[in-house]
Every structure is written in structure tokens, then in C-alpha cells.
A and B are shown apart, each in its own frame.
Chain A
Amino acid sequence: MTIVKSSKTHPLYEELVSIAGQERVSDNQVIIAAYAQDACHLEAERPGIIVMPNSVAEVQEIVKLCARTKTPIVPAGGRNGICGAVLPRVPNVVMLDMVNMDKVTKIDEDVMTVTVEAGLRWAELIHRLDEKGYKLGFRGPYGGNVGTVGGSVSINSIGYAASKYGPSTEGVVSLEVVLANGEVIRTGTGWNPDAQLFGRYSTFNDLTGIFLGDHGTLGVKTKVTLKIYPKAEFLTYGDFGFKTLKEATDFMLEAQRYGFTEELILLADRQSTETFFPGLLNKHKEVHAFISAIVQETDSQLANRKMEILREMSEKFGAKDIGNFAAQMHWSEMFNLVQPLYNNGFWLNTCHLRPINRIPEVMERLWAIFKKYKLLDNDIKWIASCLGADRAYATGWITIFVPTKDKMEMALKAWNEMLDEIFDTGACPYWSGLLWEERAVKKADKNFLDTYWKIKKALDPENIFAPEVFKGGN
């Protein structure tokens, strides 16, 4: 059904309608306006036309059409990323809104993998697996109600349970990708049509890795196969307060080395804790940095013992045991932690990765910026939080919240300085997008980028997939 009629001015309108049907194609500016931004403030070109494919076959036909006509194409997932990765850099793009492709195609219990269509949302996948007695490793980005599996693995997304399982891409076993010629490739053990999708590394080199984090530049992901694990029902929680950020990060590093926690999250200062959990530290005046730990196991003794060890470990770093309320809330509010923070204003993010030991260094510099711009005097709150990832690194989620539009100009100045300091202290952004790309490309080793472009040219000779991405344009 179509209520707002297409303008039918996009050159591919009729042909796209012949592939996907009138109801799932629109080039009306009213419809397109709803695809003009993701969940950050950045803007780029607007798509020229939106298509909502329902199947791999439709994606193949659309890609073939775009290749034949040299029309740029950008795939989009839940579009709640916070780096502008999904926004087209060139005009007249065909944007694929992938959210109709949301099926769980196979839970292969024999080899402990699940295969899903790329437009499936993480929250839905968690529920589907839970019903069958399984859990994922990486559980989804913090916006996992809406964030799609395909979107996350295309931009190295990170979030829940990354402390134990690493970022979204670590759990990927295989991908199904529509290439620029419209053909389909299956990676991992998928190279063998008769094999189950049980492993990522086999026989040849790792082609899965080529497409992970590609920001949609090398193909359209249509299916993702992920590792699954037995459901773990036993959870233990701990909240720890530290006098200094240095003590907190020392503990964080030690705890991450052991890999006991499903989730280990640091709030770097009192202001961040107050913004996240108002009143949490009222009774703990001496606490200046705060860590919540969540252990999840299939056995209660195991879960309890690991938390005991963490508690003992924390004491060595002068931690104060402050219960477990924040940790419980952190976990039980899965995928809904950040949204209430919007009440503080629109957010400007600086998401990146860094070694845990370099958290205090960057925070010193950022606190100086906060002070310089008198953020609190201007009602601009911040949250500096770091999620332990994999073994010894962490995310840096240092976000400022701009309460009203008129404060945006000043906030953007502070934010840009923050980005510079973050890069200057050993950061590697996990995603690029409009948020980081200019700085990242400037910093990148030439041989690294040249190699990427050779691959890009080989796989996408007509440069139809997300053109201009990774070129450093602003």
C-alpha cells in the first residue's frame, strides 16, 4: 500500500519498482527525509531513493541494476548508529533499508551457530535464541533494540558482553554477501556448499574478515552466521568505588586479563556516575571512579566464586564495595541504558577503542577541555564510560549532552578538541563514519590504505558500494 506517492524522478525508479514493487520503493522527499540522519548530529547527502528488499534475490537484482547503470548504493540497517556511517557521501544513492530481511534462517545446534538475515535486530535474536536455550557471545550494541546484526558487523560495532567475547565482529563465523556483479559469496566454511557453517577459518584465507567493518563498501551483507553458547542462567553482580581513576583502571585491566566478567564497565568520574545513576554515590564522597561487574555462568557456584575473586582483586586496588544495584540495573536495562540520557540533551559522541592503561591519560586531557569550556556551567553534562573489551582494551564512550540548540556551536568546538585529544592518546576508533573518517584517514599508514583500495577496486570495479567512504571526506 502506498499513501505518499513517489515523485518518480529517480532514474532507476521504474526498474526498482519492477524488482521490489511499488510499495517498497520511494523517491518522495517526505519519505527520504526520514533517512537523512542516523542517531548522531552529522549530515551528508540524502539518498535519492529508498528500497526495502525482502530477499537475497531482490538484493542481487538491485545490485546488478546499480552496477549496470553505475548508480551508487548504500545498505542501511537500523540506522541508529552514532557515527554517520550509513549516510551517503554522493547524491542520488539507492539506499537499501534492510529491516524487512529479519529472519532467523537456521539455528544449527550441532555446530553451535545461528544464521540470520542481515536486517534482524539483536534484541529479537536474543529472544529467539533464549527460547531455544542459547545465548550469543557478543550480545549487541547498546542500541540493540533497533541495531541490526548486518549493520553492526559492517561497522565493527561494540557493546554488551564485549568484555568477554570482544566486539560484534569477533562472533562472526560466516557471511553471505552480494558482490558488485550481483553474485553471492558465502565465507567461512560456506565456501563448501555441502558443509555446515561451523567455522570461520578453513582451507583458504579469511574472506569473512575482508567484509567485516567494511562500512558497506565491498558488498551487501545479506546473511550473518554467529557463534552461540548454552544459555547461562546464573548472574552475579558487583559495584566497586575507587578513589582515583588510576586505581580503577588498574583493577579493570587485571580483571579483564582474567576474563571473568560478561560485562565490565567503568565510569571515569563522579559527574559521569551522577549522570548515569543519579544519587548512586551520594553516600560515598571519597569515590571518584566507579566500576560495575557482571558475571554470567551456567553454574551458580562458578558465578559466585568469580565475583568473590573479583571482590578480593578489587581490594588490592583500594576499592570500596558499594553493593550491586548499578550492575544489576546496567544488565537488566539491556538496550535501554542510553535512551534516558537524551533527557540531558542531544549527544555528541567520541566512541573509540584504547588500551585500558591509557584511559587516565585521555581523561586528564578531556577534563581540561571540560573545564576550559565550562561545560557544567553551561548545563552540558558528560559521561565518560569505558567498557572492557576482549582482554586488555576498552571502549572510550565519552559523550557530552547539549541541552538546547543554542549551545550546539560551543559544544561542537569542545567536541572537536576532544576528538583530537582522543586520537592523540593512542585511540583507534572502532567505527569510522563521518565521525572519525577524516582524522582516521589522515593518520592511516599509506600501505594499509593502498591495500584496502586495491581490494575495493578488485571487488567493486565500478565503485557502486558506498562511494567516497574511507576517502577522508568530511
Chain B
Amino acid sequence: MTTNLKNLSKYEDEMWLCARCGDCSLADKTVASNRDVYLPCAIKNVLGFEAFAARGRIMIMNDLLNERIPLSNDIADWAYTCTTCKSCMETCTATADGVNLPDMMEALRKDLVANSFSIQKHEEIENSIINEFNPYKETQDFRLKVFGDREFPPKAEVVYFAGCTSSFREKEIAVTTVELLTKLGVNYTVLPDERCCGSVLLRLGREKAFGNLTSHNIESIKRTGAKTVITACAGCYRTWKVDVVKAGYEYDFRILHITEFLDELVTKGAASFELKDKLKVTYHDPCHLGRHSEVYEAPRRVIESIENVELVEMATNKRYAHCCGSGGGVKGTFGDLANEAAGNRIREAEESGAELLLTACPFCYRGLKDGANHIGSNIKVLDLPTFLLDAKIGKSMKKVKDEPLKLEFMEYLVDHPMIFDGLKKGAVIDYEIEGNRFHIEVIGKGEVIAKPQRAENPDVELTFSPAAVKTLVTFSSEDKYAEQFGKFFKEPTDSEWIRFNLRLNIVKLLMKGYRKFAQKAGLI
């Protein structure tokens, strides 16, 4: 083992499982299961050489571990070109979750820092965070200036965690978010002494200040008595939701992205939005919100709920969406590279026919705006809260009634959990009957819950004809249900049929426990 690569060397066994198929680099609209992968690495798509896609990166890291090539400034430059967007990992089917390149890159960055291969800009960012609790060398005392004279109560049900980028750079997002919350009548506050969430430190491989920031923020939130923390920053959200928990910190408040919070209001019928004129929009999934935190549908439901708005998808979207190029420290380290990647994403938005590109992250917002300028595009880019503030906002609206057959099917499935016997906890199946969607999540042995929306990241999507559902819900025995389910798939008729779209590869599904289900259905 190479002694000076102690973080990277932990991934040696996982690197062994990469057989260099190259899907992470060059997969073109993967044929299998309609997975809409398209040249998944936004950085490789700009820089060209294989070294910038996951396959090449793993080869280079193997060379580092084998001391075939040394750590160098070239390696440092190369290492910080990765946005750690996780697109390669979603594309990869070599392991159940995909070979974890983002973690490997962050491990290598830690080793680079430990071995004094430092990038000046990164040192400045770290020092700024240590001294002023934000990466922008701004005075911490001015953090709340963005909100003008607005005063916030010491206690509230909800805390809005603004994040450094919205507080000091993309101020419009912070301002419009609090205005939106106010208009919606939310009982909220803002922390008087919010500090950086630490995301940028983790992404750059400089984690020493992370613990202090997190402890401080948790205590500050606790003092407000809030049970819910919302943020409009995808980077902050991922840090709170994933990294803080992974680092062993515990908190007893909910973390919601603003899009999830709005989705709850819209779904409950507590908020509605209406645009005066018809508008076609598309939505860019921020990597930290989407792939890293698996929130894909909530923002889409909010957008689709806006009267007069039509949501159209870009060629790559949701888990296979191209990165905007700003993440993982790339924007701050190699601004031109980030602009090129964002420019490519802007072209995708233009090709979708949308008049407006929405996103839900200040980093993506800045990156995409710069990308549009970079390529001379006229497409308008907005962050979701800013966009919503221009809409006519209602506080209530009649809740859309679900189709009776959908409700009946949901109830039936929850009452017959043994249909899902064998599936591992966390397995998610999405159901669709003539456009009406819901999903089932396995929450424990013999326990499932049905949620009335499309799943964020399902293992399998099932589509049923209404007649098939009507037949299936008549069976009291789960085995008979499974048997008939299999028949509808294997021997479909014009009126009774089932189709499925595997969102994971078959072997991954079998590893997640779908074998028993498939056997009962007579599929295997």
C-alpha cells in the first residue's frame, strides 16, 4: 500500500470491480430498460480525453496506488476537474450502487491536501470559512444584511437555512425565498448566526473545520425550537441530509429542500400558484438534490401544479441529468471549464423547446446563467422560488381528487403486504394506471406504505391497464395475485396487460430481493 494515499487506498477493492466497460464515459442513450443515459460525464464532454471520465479516472488512481505515476501538480489539477456529480455512478451497473467515483475523488483530494499539493484558491476558501464562516471572504456580521430591515423571531416552527451562496452572492434567492415563505404564511425564522454548512470543505478534501461548523449550526437551530429546516441550496441540503449524518451527528429536526416543502403545501392544498400567461419551462436537476439526495419528483410536482405552466424535459433528466459543471469545486477552480459544461446544459434546455430554464440551487443557477452568457443564449434562467414569487399565490385550493381505481389499488396493496415478501427494506415500486401514479415503499418485513405520488427513484416502474387492476384487486390470496400478475405480463391481451420498466439492471434487482416476487409471478 502506498503510505501517502491512505484515504484513496481504502477504495482499492472497489476499483478492482471496474472492468472498464466505459459506460460512465461514452454510453449513448443506453438501450437497456430505456435508461436515458447520454454521454454521462459533463466534464469529459468538454475536455475530451478519457482521463476525465470515471473509467479513466479509476485507471489513473490505480496507477497512483501502484506508484506507476506520482502525485504531482498535474494530478492536483486533474483531480479538481471532477464535479463529483455522481452521473457516472448512476450509469455504472458494475455494483449495486455503481462504482463510487465521487467518494474516491474526494478521498484523493484529502490525500493531495495531506501531501501538500494545495491549490491556493482552496486554501483561501478554507481560511475564509475558518475565520468568517463563509467561503467568500465576506464579513460574517453582514450575513443577514441580505434581508435588509426584515426581522426574524427567535423561535419558529421552521428555520430557513439560507446558505453562504444565497446570503453573499445569489442574494435574490435568499430574498425571494423569505418573501415566498412570508406570502405563504409560514411560521419561520432565519438563524441569527448561521455558519457555512461545510459542503465546500468536504468537496475540496479539507474537512478539518467541518465538525465545528456543524455543531454550531445544530445548536443554533435547536435554540429556535424549529422542527423543520428548509433550504433552497442543494449543496446545503445534501450536506445536512447526507454528509452531516454520515459524519455521525444527530439532529431531531426535519431537513427539507424548499421544493419538498412547497410540494407538501401544494399536495395538501395549502398553496397554489398561477401564471398569467402560458409558459413552457424545463427543469435542471441539481446534482446535490437529485443524484446525491434522490429528490427528483418534488420540484416537478410543484412546477406542474402551476396554472398555465407546461413542464418539458431535457434529453437528459432526473438521475441521468447532465451536471451544470459548477459542483465539486470546479466553478471556483476552473471557471471556464464550468462555463463550457453549463453551456452544454443550456443547449439541452434550448433543444427542449422551453422558454425558461428553472433550477433549485444557487450554484446551478449561477453556473447556468454564466453558461447561457458564455454561449450567447437568450434562454432565461431562474431559481424556482424566484420564479414562484412572480406567480399569483393562493393559500388554498381544492385538492385534486385521486382516481378511485388508483385509491382502491393503493389500499389493496397495503392490505396485502405479502405480495412484496422478500423485498429488502427501502425497495420502491412505482405504479401507473392511465397516467395516475403512486408508489409502494417497503418499510420493513411485511410492511409497506403507499404514497400517492410518483416515486423519486423507483427500482421498477409498473404500468397497468385499468382492466388488469380491476381483476388483480379481486384476489384475496397474494399468491393468486402474483400468478395473475405474471400472466398479464407474459400473455397480455388488448384490455388486460402489465408492462414494466426496470430502472435498475436485472441483477441489481435480484440482489434487492425481487427474486421471490418474480418467482411467485412465475416470471422465473
Contact = CB atoms under 8 A, between A and B. Distances in A.
A101 to B, nearest CB: 12
Interface stretch (B131-139, B167-175, B348-356, B503-511): B503-511
Interface in B45-79: 46-51, 53, 55-57, 59-60, 63, 68-69, 72, 74-75, 77-78
Interface size class on chain A is 35 or more
B518 A339 contact: no
Interface stretch (B14-22, B237-245, B471-479): B14-22
A339 B519 contact: no
Given A33-B69, A39-B21, A323-B523, A3 B27 contact: no
Interface in B507-524: 507-508, 510-511, 515, 518-519, 522-524
Interface string B190-224: 00000000000000000000000000000000000
Contact of B32 (A52, A280, A336, A342): A336
B515 A33 contact: no
B93 A336 contact: yes
A33 B68 contact: yes
A24 interface: yes
Interface stretch (B289-297, B332-340, B457-465): B332-340
Contacts of A458: none
Interface in A256-284: 277-280, 282-283
Q: How would you classify the secondary structure of chain A's contact residues: helix, strand, loop or mixed?
A: loop
A342 B19 contact: yes
A34 B53 CA distance: 9
B510 A97 contact: no
Q: Considering residues B94, B511, B524, which has the most beta carbons from chain A within 10 angstroms of its beta carbon? A: B524
A335 interface: yes
B490 interface: yes
B28 A127 contact: yes
Contacts of A24: 48
A427 B51 CA distance: 36
A124 B27 CA distance: 9
Interface string B130-168: 000000000000000000000000000000000000000
B484 interface: no
A431 interface: no
Contacts of A28: 74
Contacts of B17: 342-343, 345-346
Nearest to A347: B19
Contacts of B31: 123, 126-127, 144-145, 334-336
Given A39-B19, A336-B32, A342-B17, A123 B59 contact: no
A462 to B, nearest CB: 28
B48 A326 contact: no
A292 B65 CA distance: 42
B20 A277 contact: no
B389 interface: no
Contacts of B470: none
A336 B98 CA distance: 13
Given A339-B92, A342-B17, A343-B17, A30 B48 contact: no
A5 interface: yes
Interface in A19-36: 23-24, 26, 28-31, 33-36
Contacts of A1: 46-47, 336-337, 340
Given A3-B78, A145-B23, A33 B63 contact: yes
Interface string B362-389: 0000000000000000000000000000
A376 interface: no
Contact of B49 (A31, A124, A333): A31
Contacts of B277: none
A337 B47 CA distance: 29
Contact of B502 (A80, A99, A323, A332): A332
A84 B31 CA distance: 25
B46 A37 contact: no
B83 interface: no
A44 to B, nearest CB: 14
Contacts of A126: 31
Contacts of A78: 22, 26
Contact of B22 (A2, A39, A50): A39
B515 A279 contact: yes
A332 B37 CA distance: 15
A144 B60 CA distance: 24
A80 B26 CA distance: 10
The 10 closest A-B pairs by CB, nearest first: A34-B56, A340-B507, A336-B32, A124-B28, A146-B22, A342-B94, A34-B51, A325-B523, A34-B50, A145-B27
Given A1-B46, A30-B60, 11 more contacts: A2-B47, A30-B51, A30-B78, A35-B56, A50-B49, A124-B29, A146-B26, A333-B506, A336-B93, A342-B19, A343-B96
19 contacts: A30-B74, A30-B75, A33-B63, A34-B49, A39-B21, A97-B50, A123-B31, A127-B31, A144-B31, A145-B37, A324-B490, A334-B31, A335-B32, A336-B30, A336-B32, A339-B93, A342-B17, A345-B16, A347-B19
